[in-house]
A and B are shown apart, each in its own frame.
Chain A
């Protein structure tokens, strides 16, 4: 295990995680760039493909205490075929549920390309005993989860115990086995873009296959500047180590327009290679209907009624 605080870069330079250099972030410049990217105009012919992509990278999510097998079944049906009236609509990337409902989802999604994702590891605070959190991760994988979304230990991270935060993620990665690990940074609690960048690097070096913005359980979730900040960290990781880590944006993404902004940010920062479900996800519960509505508008030239789309 490498010392996390070892500075393996020039004297006076920014710090590093296990030899991977962490670059500071200038908030003003970052937000300016994000705003500029959100002002790009879309080509009509490209719009349809963009909407399809937004569906293909979507993690259709339900994380309520009141989730039932019935609700998860309904969600899985939508995930497989988002629009019953239009078979050209692709399936979403995954359905994201609590561990208890993983087996329901896995059964409902058998023989479909839709993956089962589970939050685990003491979601959303991540402050259950480590053994319990790791057991939860293993349990979810055993129940059929292809992907596991855990949270960064912000208590450790914000108190400067980086090694602890790192070790926990590494342990969770072990517990995942062949399942993919997504690490939620909960960016709204980190306090600065510098910290978001540092947490991103730490999670990636510790073994995350994806880094993810938010739990969706606090008021500040994904923003364009946060997405850009994390995308830049991923780019840095790829440049320095050759490893391609995915980006998942979640929380507060409700409109097709927002989804498009994020596609632009990821596409311009990381390149088209990242615009696939293997490297990019949008976690959302209410985005799908807006995307379907825009898609139908593009197809028919008019907007349909809200009632024409199913409620899940």
Chain B
């Protein structure tokens, strides 16, 4: 800097400075959690028929948060009957504008209680508070707002045809975006005049139960929405119930296949949103620093527990070293830990079982000869945590390149030409999402045309909007959620 570096007694000694972030835990004060929870049926909380309760765990600590009911076949019967009664008792005949009022009310109540919902979502599911606060809850409210807007415009949504409701919808949702998935399912179903029995995932029932409070406060007529917690058997009983007209499921491809077989021939309408193994494709001309952020957001968002996660990184061979270098460097700065901390980038894995599955697949990658990189990071002593992981030297035949891991694990593959990128990207039984990174607009369009995926992001990843349809090809399911297309699964079009 300067030659005049003679020691100056006036000046205090200076040390090396390193960035040190505060633990900035979000307060859990807004959440008042009952120790036991019943089922929301016919507009009130009821005891389960068999009286069975199971704990729901905070994955960041391993401790039980509360006990929730396990609904059995009798409870399912009761919930479906309540939904049927509500449908026939007036919901199906209510003018769209009246249904819209309820949906707007729900959306506003969600916004008012956003902090409470965000904290509870993070406590029950382990996702970083930054995500539940900035994405899950606001987007859930946005879905209710969006479909409230459609409720009185259904006559104009499908030209020349009238959209009639189907009846009772059975909706089974996953644990990765508990409240958001409930919103994705409920909002279009209600807007179209259906009634619902919703079953949240076994590990994340709490925000759905809190939503029941909101529905009651919104004075939604009893039975229009029923929320029953439980296990896989509960879900199976619900989707196979003969009183159900429509089944909507988001979750694993394995379960989706079983539901498909079960529903076949019954006349029930079915939509499935299943697994994915998305390709995130990086061309050499892309904005590589933003690509790095996009890759991180694509695979480490919600700890990679996202069906549309960009878990297969396809990089043009000319820039693979640069991209991997940038990525590893960026991974070193990812903060893994307490999901309630506002500085945390990667929170807890949702359950012990999921953590075990991720660990098993990571071990298989190492065993099959791929090269594993994980940054030096100290994981909390308790709870279910997995460091961000990156595999290079991956072949398309490896399990980590084929199977959905549903965790913070990225596999890097390379390509030489755009044709090869297309071939490799589509070389999967799934087809939910894809990412394309290039500064060349014509190439984006050329690639997007050829991607066999329901959602294609260009120069971004994991962006969601209620107006934009979301859904898959092939083993990623069928049917769309969001936008006008998201109305179709919940209506019968009549001339």
Contact = CB atoms under 8 A, between A and B. Distances in A.
B286 interface: yes
Contacts of A33: 290, 293
Interface in A194-252: 232, 236, 239
Contacts of A44: 22
B367 interface: no
A125 interface: no
Residue from B14, B287, B325 having most chain A Cβ neighbours under 10 A: B287
Interface residues of A, number: 56
B17 A53 contact: yes
B4 A25 contact: no
Contacts of A26: 286-287, 290-291, 439, 459
A300 to B, nearest CB: 17
Interface stretch (B5-13, B144-152, B214-222, B246-254): B5-13
Interface in B22-50: 22-24
Interface in A40-80: 40-46, 49-50, 52-53, 56, 80
A32 interface: yes
A183 interface: no
A14 B289 CA distance: 13
Residue with the greatest number of chain B CB neighbours at <10 A, chosen from A88, A89, A113, A180: A113
B266 interface: no
B22 A41 contact: yes
A45 B286 CA distance: 40
A277 B11 CA distance: 15
Contacts of A110: 4
B10 to A, nearest CB: 6
Contacts, number: 129
A289 interface: no
Contacts of A49: 15, 17
A211 B315 CA distance: 31
A89 B18 CA distance: 18
A30 interface: yes
A90 interface: yes
Contact of A113 (B8, B342, B343): B8
Interface in A91-128: 91, 93-94, 109-113, 115
Contact of A40 (B17, B319, B343): B343
A24 B439 contact: yes
A32 B293 contact: yes
A10 B4 CA distance: 46
Given A12-B284, A113-B4, A41 B318 contact: no
B343 A91 contact: no
A242 to B, nearest CB: 14
Interface in B381-440: 439
A23 interface: yes
B383 to A, nearest CB: 21
A113 B319 CA distance: 44
Contacts of A275: 17-19
A41 B287 CA distance: 28
B439 A41 contact: no
A40 B289 contact: no
A24 B284 contact: no
A13 B318 contact: yes
A87 B9 CA distance: 10
A28 B4 contact: no
B21 A272 contact: no
Interface stretch (A129-137, A167-175, A260-268): A260-268
Contacts of B319: 10, 13
B287 A277 contact: no
A94 B460 CA distance: 41
B333 interface: yes
12 contacts: A14-B285, A24-B439, A26-B287, A28-B459, A29-B287, A32-B293, A39-B342, A42-B21, A46-B21, A46-B22, A91-B8, A112-B4
Interface of A: 10, 12-14, 23-26, 28-30, 32-33, 39-46, 49-50, 52-53, 56, 80-81, 87-91, 93-94, 109-113, 115, 146-147, 180, 232, 236, 239, 263-264, 267-268, 272, 275-278
Given A268-B19, A268-B333, 10 more contacts: A10-B284, A10-B318, A23-B289, A24-B287, A81-B10, A87-B10, A110-B4, A113-B8, A180-B1, A267-B18
